[in-house]
Structure 1
């Protein structure tokens, strides 16, 4: 793992991941199986874990690149426009499949239920990643998630690892991961459900992960290393919608690590970003800017 100051000129953060159009319904309570509920409101927002985290990193101050796939459709046009507006350097392949969608219900307690339809995101292949080998290998931090095919994620992590790039994986949505893929990760950022799916902290350490940052929702974050556990307390906010909170935290964490901050400082900034995102509706619309994060952590 190479420090940010010693990296050749490149991006602070490179994200390989998904981009979706989020279809968001506000409901009184989340429907049980077989239940139909009436929505109070409806909105469409850019989203997808990859895009959310790329925008979060950029707003937190990182020069950020996004690698992924979009459909050649109106939703793809919306997402292309958003990426340009946010100042992302985009390496996007337009494909024949429709742009990905996420169907999201948000209740009055700000809890959510999400169904993701991958669409074009399923076209993020090893070849797509390999075509951008130079972009990945010159980054300070590579940030990945699991909404694109796992073989492409593993390929991106392998390229980064060979180049001495710090690798960060948000293992969401939860999936069974090979030991080889996990061994390529310096930092893993699961929530409290995903860490169980991964076999617990000991399984990650056995595979070679150096640091685990567990997101605990309203209870903040927990940093776990082989030597220590450090709780990062939550910031007191009034939650409105938690949809983008985890992605805000991941993007801010990657941005801070790319700047050379230690893991405790980076996690504290991540916690602040997640808290701020929970105070606003939507995923991308809720992601905080650097000045907001700075103000909350000082």
Structure 2
């Protein structure tokens, strides 16, 4: 089982030819409301990739809350630890251009009310093969979950920010993208950033978009796995799809290279579809693409 302690947001997605610059107004061609949030995205990705998944987090008592709960449940995710708190759910305002690139503004809403991890939450986490964490919940809650988890901890360090020592000390695998890796280490080159990350945590994967992924461990193992060449429609949640699928492959005991290929294939399938939770492939689709 995979447990996810993280955010649930409603994504408000505007599609446009070119994203607006500061002070500029452009005309969009479509708009969608799609359940997302890095935590919920990773939970759905892992469930569709074949794992039993439990989600720990919060939604508001607004109209978005039941929709997000229903989306997680429909994917097969256990939502018994999904709390409802007064006020608005988290939202993400997303602009997607014709090249599939995106810019995102996240408003935490109910996610900001998750300031710790309960005994009941920890009981769920303790039954899992891995705990997936991101940084869209308050940092004190993320640190508490990482430190008290009795299972391997996988951290997606997004949105990029300073990482407390006590968090890094509890992380087994960190999975930043190239920009996040540079922000954490101060090093622009992914190979150099990887080496610096391994001074902080035992294992690291840097996702490189269309260039694939770079893996390293303190044991000295290094791998570079190419991306599957596809035409991107929308890259929203591609990283979350990668992490969810990677967690599943690792929990199944797959060798590192095979696990990375499984994850890059899942991400490649996701970018060919619009949206976050709506874009994530099933286990059958991933396996079919790997044949």
Tell me if both proteins adopt one fold, taking TM over 0.5 as the criterion.
Answer: yes
Q: Indicate if the aligned counterparts of 1:213 and 1:267 stay in contact, CA closer than 8 A.
A: no
Query: 1:59 offset after TM fit, Å?
Result: 0.2
Q: What is the root-mean-square deviation of aligned Cα atoms in Å?
A: 1.2
User: How many positions carry a matched residue from both structures?
Assistant: 282
For residue 175 of structure 2, the aligned residue among 167, 185, 189 is 189
Which residue number in structure 2 is paired with residue 53 of structure 1? 42
Whole-angstrom distance in 1 between the partners of 2:51 and 2:75: 11
Which residue number in structure 2 is paired with residue 9 of structure 1? none
Which residue number in structure 2 is paired with residue 156 of structure 1? 145
* Aligned pairs (5 A) from 1:168-183: 168-183=154-169
Which residue number in structure 1 is paired with residue 217 of structure 2? 225
Summarize deviations over 1:38-65 as a string: whole Å, max 9, x none: 1111111000000000000000000000
Query: 1:157 offset after TM fit, Å?
Result: 1.0
Whole-angstrom distance in 1 between the partners of 2:38 and 2:273: 17
For residue 97 of structure 2, the aligned residue among 100, 107, 112 is 107
Query: 1:257 offset after TM fit, Å?
Result: 1.2
Q: Indicate if the aligned counterparts of 1:256 and 1:266 stay in contact, CA closer than 8 A.
A: yes
Whole-angstrom distance in 2 between the partners of 1:152 and 1:107: 34
Summarize deviations over 1:152-172 as a string: whole Å, max 9, x none: 111111122xx2x11100111
Q: Structure 2 unaligned runs (5+)?
A: 186-192
Q: Indicate if the aligned counterparts of 1:129 and 1:155 stay in contact, CA closer than 8 A.
A: no
For residue 210 of structure 1, the aligned residue among 189, 193, 202 is 202
Q: Secondary structure at the match of 1:102?
A: strand
Summarize deviations over 1:179-218 as a string: whole Å, max 9, x none: 22011111100000101111133443223x1111111011
Off by >2 Å, runs of 4+ in structure 1 = 128-131, 200-207
1:256 aligns with 2:246: no
- Normalized against structure 1, the TM-score is what? 0.92
Q: Indicate if the aligned counterparts of 2:39 and 2:133 stay in contact, CA closer than 8 A.
A: yes
For residue 118 of structure 1, the aligned residue among 99, 108, 114 is 108
Q: Indicate if the aligned counterparts of 2:133 and 2:155 stay in contact, CA closer than 8 A.
A: yes
Q: Secondary structure at the match of 1:223?
A: strand
Q: Structure 1 unaligned runs (5+)?
A: 1-11
Q: Indicate if the aligned counterparts of 2:89 and 2:110 stay in contact, CA closer than 8 A.
A: yes
